[in-house]
Amino acid sequence: MLEFNTTLLVCIVSFVIFLLMLNAILYEPLANVVQRRMRYIDSNYREAEKAKDRLNKLRDWTEERRQKSKEVAREVYSKVITEYKLKKDTLIEYEHNISAKDMSGVRLKLKNIDREAKIRLKSYVGDIAGAIASKILGYETKVETVDENILNSILETNTEESADG
């Protein structure tokens, strides 16, 4: 059976002393280290949350600025396009006016050339008519007068047909 003697009592006391020493040497320092690590982790977690909040605010601010920049860019683009369209229209109108002036000058020159050609042609018509009459009649004859009205109507008819065709 079990005997209760001093050896048992010494074992119990030495066990209690051992537990107190273990607590002082091992458990308390280990618990302190665990607590410090928990505080460190908690503080880092709080800082990470703050950084995350700042990042979200910065992202929102950046997106807002980007949208504003897009709007400003669209407005500037619209103004520039409108300005260049106006310049283009003005330039086209200016060039059109210059072309119209050039065309009127060319038309005037062509009318002058046409008038000169008709005058020369009128002077040759009498000679040509005389040559034709001489060939047909067999003797030399000279056409003295040419009816200006008939000649002008023939020349005008031919000019209009050439312009249409």
**pTM score > 0.85 for this model?**
no
Compute the half-sphere exposure of residue 33: CA atoms within 13 Å on the CB side of its CA: 6
Give the list of residues 6+ apart from residue 140 with CB closer than 8 angstroms, or none.
130, 134
Angle between helix 148-164 and helix 28-137 axes, rounded to 10 deg: 150
Element (H, E) at 142: none
Helix (H, G, I), strand (E, B), or coil: what is residue 165? coil
CA dist., res. 149 & res. 147, Å (int): 6
Residue 147's identity, in one-letter code, is D
| Predicted confidence (pLDDT) per residue in 55-93, tens digit | 999 999 999 999 999 999 999 999 999 999 999 999 999
Cα–Cα distance measured from residue 65 to residue 71, given in angstroms and rounded to the nearest whole number = 10
Break the chain down into helix, strand, coil percent, rounded to 5: 90, 0, 10
| Of 15-24, 100-109, 119-128, minimum mean pLDDT range | 119-128
Average pLDDT, stretch 44-51? 96
Which residue reads 């000169």 in tokens? 116
Higher model confidence: residue 100 or residue 41? Answer: 41
Percent of the chain at pLDDT above 90?
51
- The pLDDT assigned to 164 comes to 57
